[in-house]
């Protein structure tokens, strides 16, 4: 568990350091993404922050993908927005060491999403029991 938290903390620190100096370099769209391993999405977010592009979310984002776009909005306000139809689908994760579903957000969740957004989301379903779905534009802003 501590190895996992240390790795996440290091990656998030790197996101904050490297992402803050990026210059705008065009734009890209983000279509439907089914989620997956949160560390894959953290690594991708590093590249996105360094690249300096603006992003338009046009497809539904599930699980780790939803976490990522909320984190990106927190780190680069105004460089990511959502179409009116895009949705974010959240659920709590599971502990990689024990394989058990989380009962509440852990430090990685709080760091990625932020306490304010967690409060807005409210209670989240456990892993494997469904999703809490919200309009992406409510969290990322509506694309113009």
- Rounded to 5 degrees, φ, ψ at 55 are -125, 140
Q: Which residues of 30-64 are buried (b: 16+ CB within 10 A; e: fewer)?
A: beebebeebeebbeebbebbbeebebbbbbbbbbb
Name residues whose C-beta falls within 8 Å of residue 62's C-beta, 6 or more positions apart in sequence.
Answer: 33, 34, 35, 89, 131
Residue 99 is predicted with a pLDDT of 82
Report d(CA 49, CA 69) in Å as an integer: 11
pLDDT value of position 107 = 86
**Six-digit token string for 110:** 């709080």
DSSP helix/strand/coil, 90? strand
Nearest CA to 14 out of 61, 46, 37, 36 is that of 46
Enclosing domain of residue 129: 2-140
How many structural domains does the chain have? 1
Q: In angstroms, rounded to a whole number, what is the distance separating the alpha carbons of residues 128 and 24? A: 38
pLDDT in tens, 50-91: 998 999 999 999 999 999 999 999 999 999 999 999 999 999
Residues 61, 88 contacting (CB under 8 angstroms):
yes
56: β partners: 29, 81
* pLDDT tens-place string over residues 1-45: 434 444 444 444 343 333 333 344 799 999 999 999 988 999 999
Task: For the chain, count helices (H), then strands (E).
Answer: 6, 6
């Amino acid at each position: 568990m501590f190895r996992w938290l240390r790795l996440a903390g290091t990656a998030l620190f790197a996101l904050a350091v490297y992402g803050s100096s990026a210059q705008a370099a065009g734009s890209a769209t983000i279509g439907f993404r089914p989620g997956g391993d949160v560390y894959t999405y953290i690594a991708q977010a590093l590249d996105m922050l360094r690249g300096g592009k603006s992003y338009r979310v046009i497809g539904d984002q599930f699980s780790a993908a939803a976490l990522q776009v909320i984190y990106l909005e927190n780190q680069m306000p105004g460089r990511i927005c959502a179409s009116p139809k895009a949705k974010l689908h959240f659920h709590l994760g599971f502990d990689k060491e024990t394989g058990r579903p989380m009962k509440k957000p852990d430090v990685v969740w709080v760091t990625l999403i932020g306490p304010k957004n967690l409060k807005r989301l409210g209670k989240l379903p456990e892993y494997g029991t469904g999703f809490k779905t919200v309009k992406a534009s409510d969290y990322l802003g509506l694309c113009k």
